Amino acid sequence: MFTINKQLALAGSSLLLLLAGCSGTPDYPPAPVQASAADWNYLIGPGDSVQVFVWRNPEVSGSFPVRPDGKMTMNLVEDMQASGKTPSQLARDIEKSLAKYIQEPIVTVIVAGGVGPFDQQIRVLGEAAKPQALNYREKMSLVDLMIQVGGLTDFAAGNKAYILRNVDGKQQQLGVRLEDLVRDGDISANVDMRPGDVLVVPESLF
């Protein structure tokens, strides 16, 4: 009799743990509503196209792609590292290279159709309608992100979703309430996204 009661108690405990894992409360500390991006600057990445204007030297100017290896080749400059730099940083580097051929060159760089480096892109994994990697945009929020990935699947445990975020060199798991945000329209569940965030949407057990 004692054995049967013990087995029933263990079974009951397992059921409670299972139900707790399927509840609508997040498993992780909540993501902050506002995440400062004041220090964020767009960095050039593979796949970007850059327009280079060299003052009074139109024959050197033009539009040039950034290759998968992060480098670009333009008139008079070969295999210059472009990925990971701001447009202003790249312009200064081009000026240094062109100084061998042009007296005191003045260069302006404009990014067209920006993609950005991989470590600044936002990735959505799991039970989103269209999991994918997206370019971070200034003041991008969770609502903006969910619109781009088409919302949640019918199997998503939205309130169990979390963001993987690098903070001061350490990875944190921050809970978000996607079920409340997407399906109930609770705007209080909206939070700011940061470059490099990974949103993970787990599958519901029921």
Q: How far is CA 52 from CA 39, 48, 70, 84, 113, in A?
A: 25, 13, 16, 17, 14
Q: How far is CA 48 from CA 122, 134, 184, in A?
A: 17, 14, 38
- Residue 109's DSSP bridge partners are 52
- Residue 12's DSSP bridge partners are none
CA pair distance 50, 116, nearest whole angstrom: 12
Is the per-residue pLDDT at 3 higher than 90?
Answer: no
- Report all structural domains of the chain as residue ranges with CATH numbers, in order of start: 49-112 (3.30.1950.10), 118-201 (3.10.560.10)
Going 11 to 16 to 17 to 21, the CA torsion angle's sign is positive
pLDDT of residue 2: 41
Strands (E), the chain: 49-54, 62-65, 71-74, 77-81, 107-112, 122-126, 133-134, 162-167, 170-175, 198-201
pLDDT of residue 175: 97
CA pair distance 173, 189, nearest whole angstrom: 16
CA pair distance 115, 33, nearest whole angstrom: 26
pLDDT of residue 19: 40
Considering the entire predicted model, what is its pTM?
A: 0.79
pLDDT of residue 5: 45
Percent of the chain residues past pLDDT 70, beyond the cut: 85
pLDDT of residue 38: 60
Contact 204, 156 (CB under 8 A): yes
pLDDT of residue 62: 96
pLDDT of residue 21: 43
Q: Tell me the pLDDT of the chain averaged across its residues.
A: 87
Higher local confidence (pLDDT), 33 or 164: 164
Contact 35, 167 (CB under 8 A): no
Instruction: Give tens-digit pLDDT for 94-103.
Output: 999 999 999 9
Is the per-residue pLDDT at 16 higher than 60?
Answer: no
Is the per-residue pLDDT at 206 higher than 90?
Answer: no
Contact 81, 88 (CB under 8 A): no
pLDDT of residue 36: 66
Instruction: Give tens-digit pLDDT for 104-158.
Output: 999 999 998 777 898 999 999 999 999 999 999 989 999 999 999 999 999 999 9
Is the per-residue pLDDT at 22 higher than 70?
Answer: no
Residue 9: band (very low, low, confident or very high) from pLDDT cuts 50, 70, 90: very low
Residue 86: band (very low, low, confident or very high) from pLDDT cuts 50, 70, 90: very high
Is the per-residue pLDDT at 13 higher than 90?
Answer: no
